[in-house]
Amino acid sequence: MVRNLSTAIALSYLVFMFVMTHLPKHRVAKAVELAGDKNLHLLAFLVLGFMASLAIQLWIRHIGWYAYALPCLVFGLAYAWFDEATQPLVGRHYDLRDILADGFGLAMGMLLFEGLRPAVFKLLWIEETR
């Protein structure tokens, strides 16, 4: 049940991210713009990296950290590229630096998950398999 719930939450967050990054520029609140575009990319993908790591780790727990690291990186970077590539359709622009910030945030989220994994598993009453 936790596995399905974590997957649903991660996918819901991904949809939320897509909607927020595809709002036309004039619809974005000034407070969001003041936070800084690269900071928001970093934070958004840090959260995605953490949640995707949890979801993937729960599906393939028997292997270890590298079982979720590669799929998380590949999926996350592919999504970052897709997100940037589709933004011109709504009047925004493609920015390679955004993808770099996304990748850095993704890696930070994965590292944060790995550091907190024992505590997260204990909190969710999931038995460690290592």
> Could you read off the pLDDT of 2-51 as tens digits, one per residue?
888 989 999 999 999 999 888 887 776 676 666 788 899 999 999 999 99
**Averaged pLDDT score across all residues of the chain:** 87
CA distance 106 to 71: 12
75 pLDDT higher than 90: yes
| Alpha-helical segments (H) within 1-130 | 2-21, 30-35, 37-59, 65-86, 96-123
pLDDT for the residue 129:
55
pLDDT for the residue 68:
77
**Confidence band (pLDDT; 50, 70, 90) for 100?**
very high
Angle of helix 37-59 versus helix 2-21 axis, rounded to 10: 160
Higher pLDDT, 128 or 91: 91
Report the pLDDT averaged over residues 117-124.
87
pLDDT for the residue 130:
52
CA distance 49 to 45: 6
63 pLDDT higher than 80: no
DSSP 23: S
| C-beta separation of 48 from 109 below 8 A | yes
Report the pLDDT averaged over residues 76-99.
93
DSSP 60: S
CA distance 74 to 72: 6
pLDDT for the residue 46:
97
